[in-house]
A and B are shown apart, each in its own frame.
Chain A
Amino acid sequence: MEEPFVKTQIRKDENIVYKRTSLLVDRPLSYCPGCGHGVVHRMLMETLEEMGIQDKTIGVSPVGCSVLAYDFMNIDMIGAAHGRAPALATAIKRLWPDKFVFTYQGDGDLAAIGTAETIHACNRGENFTIIFINNGIYGMTGGQMAPTTLPGMRSSTSPYGRNVLTMGHPLKITELIANLPGVNYVTRQAVHTPNHVRKTKKAIRKALEQQKENKGIAFIEVVSNCNSGWKMTPVQSNKWMEENMFPFYPLGDIKVDGKLVQSSEVAK
């Protein structure tokens, strides 16, 4: 089939304004169509490329859908046990203070099994970046309820909807750790529209730059979709996310330069 509307005059290497970064390994991503993981991976790798720190970065990947993140990110990485990434990152950063260290974690990893490791790394004010992908469900294992699953939301282990009386309320871990003095920067972003993606990339850059100044934890939550787990199309899931996840997990800066942002829910 011939490609329509090709502009041979423009389609030259010198006219490229955007292409996939070489810091993403040249292979297909294993994520579902439309999944936010792919976008965050790309923004993170673009940022490392722009900062020129590929050779100074050590990443820690989780257990969850992004367990294979190390196959896609062209940097040295260590795969942690479920929930333990902040412990790994603590030791790595303390022993290699000049390296850039980040953890990349999902909602079960960071806010269920890894809650203690998350809270204590934040409390100690470690100097690495935590990237937290919150899609309110356990994707990799088949769509079970997560600590961040919304009240009434269906999952394979809450088939009649999350009942807060028996299953507890969604855990707003981000607001919890924002209160810790060891945490310097907390922000909640999304990646489902180009503008949101641009903001997320700025947040990632800010977080990594902060490591040069030893100011403590930078925590970026990305509220993302899981169209497979939520049983929708990607476009439908982004809409559902806007209508249901964002009111519960409002986007924006929560803590900047060690101070809670007054308009954020935590400060109120």
Chain B
Amino acid sequence: MAKIKGDILVNVERCKGCEVCITACPSSTIAMSKEVNGKGYHFAMKVNDECTGCMNCAIVCPDGVITVFRGKIE
């Protein structure tokens, strides 16, 4: 049966590791990476499969680094 699921794509080099997206995410999908990007910031990444594509993270992101996808998955 097809399910609607979401996915986020983080622009790793533009993320400043502010962590505001973490509290915004209703499915605790986002956490900060252990690695750092080119500017030395830890960046947002997915840590589970529960993304629903609700867009909360992207909407609240001060740097607009998140692209959100939502679609059917078999």
* A is bound by B: yes
Interface residues of A (CB under 8 A from B): 1, 3-7, 9-12, 14-21, 24, 28-29, 31-39, 42, 191-194, 197-198, 233-235, 238
**CA distance in complex: A33, B18 (Å):** 5
Residue of A nearest to B60 (CB): A194
Are A235 and B62 in contact (CB-based, < 8 A)? no
Residues in chain B near residue A197, CB distance under 8 A: 59-60
**CA distance in complex: A83, B45 (Å):** 40
**CA distance in complex: A41, B63 (Å):** 9
Residues in chain B near residue A18, CB distance under 8 A: 55, 58-59, 66-68
**CA distance in complex: A235, B47 (Å):** 19
**5 pairs of A and B residues whose beta carbons are closest in the complex:** A38-B62, A34-B18, A33-B16, A15-B71, A33-B18
Are A10 and B64 in contact (CB-based, < 8 A)? no
Residue of A nearest to B24 (CB): A194
- The smallest C-beta distance from B19 to any residue of chain A, in angstroms, reads 5
Are B68 and A16 in contact (CB-based, < 8 A)? yes
Residue of A nearest to B15 (CB): A33
Are A11 and B16 in contact (CB-based, < 8 A)? no
Q: How many residues of B contact A (CB 8 A)?
A: 41
Residues in chain B near residue A42, CB distance under 8 A: 64
Residues in chain B near residue A21, CB distance under 8 A: 64
Chain B 32-69 interface 0/1 with A at a Cβ cutoff of 8 Å (1 = within): 01010000010001111101010110111111111111
Can you list 25 residue pairs at the A/B interface with Cβ under 8 Å? A3-B46, A4-B47, A5-B49, A7-B6, A10-B5, A10-B53, A11-B7, A11-B9, A15-B71, A18-B59, A18-B66, A18-B67, A19-B58, A33-B16, A34-B16, A34-B18, A38-B61, A38-B64, A39-B61, A191-B60, A192-B60, A193-B23, A194-B59, A233-B19, A234-B19
Given contacts A15-B70, A34-B20, A194-B59, 5 further A-B contacts (CB under 8 A): A5-B7, A5-B51, A19-B58, A29-B62, A32-B16
A198-B62 contact, Cβ under 8 Å, with A10-B73, A11-B7, A233-B19: no
Residues in chain B near residue A12, CB distance under 8 A: 69, 71
